[in-house]
Amino acid sequence: MTIQAQGSFAKLSAEKKKLAVMACLLTVGLLMWGRLLLLHRQPRQAVADTVAVAASDETSGSAKKVVRFDLPKELNRDLFALDSSGYERVPVTAAPVVVNQAPVVEKSVDHSADESARVASIRQAAGELRLQSTLQGDRPRAVINGLSLAKGQVIKGFVLVKIEARHVIVERDGVEICLEM
């Protein structure tokens, strides 16, 4: 025995519980390995033979019905699609819900400079909006800044115009802005 093996054996023999558990596991492993080598049989499988089931039914006297069916190779429907037929439809109110109302910017005399300043202020205000999620379906919804909104609802002065899979379009004062996730 090498010095390292002697040290490991000394550690195991110092702890009697661990040594007993290790000896039991080793014994069970050796018994199972010896049984596999001596019997030369395949392990039993959990598959029932219909003839054997019928023969065992005749000997036991109890009548058991064996049902066989074949699974389809292809599924005809999408397992992850939501079937909304079991849910009640709630009509959406026509009046938009106002979450936060932003102050209206006054117009100046110079229209070109005023227009670019107005668009810049709207874009800056839209920078505070964060699209977190979109939900598609009969009544699509978008989660913006933690609030669940439907089409037509208002958040911080922006009206939610369109909800798509990964982006929404909001509008304020005729300026449409696309928010993406």
How many whole angstroms from its chain centre is CA 120? 39
Single pTM value for the model: 0.40
CATH fold for domain 92-106+122-180: SH3 type barrels. (2.30.30)
Give tens-digit pLDDT for 162-178: 999 888 999 998 889 89
Find tokens 């000997």 and name the residue: 59
CB count in 10 Å sphere of residue 122: 22
Is 170 exposed, middle or buried (CB count within 10 Å of its CB: 0-12, 13-18, 19+)? Answer: buried
Q: 68 to each of 59, 73, 119, 167, how far by Cα in Å?
A: 22, 16, 69, 49
Give tens-digit pLDDT for 5-59: 677 767 767 788 888 898 999 999 999 888 877 876 655 545 555 554 455 555 5
Residues 108, 117: Cα–Cα separation, whole Å: 10
Report pLDDT for 140.
Answer: 92
Identify which has the larger pLDDT, 160 or 10.
Answer: 160
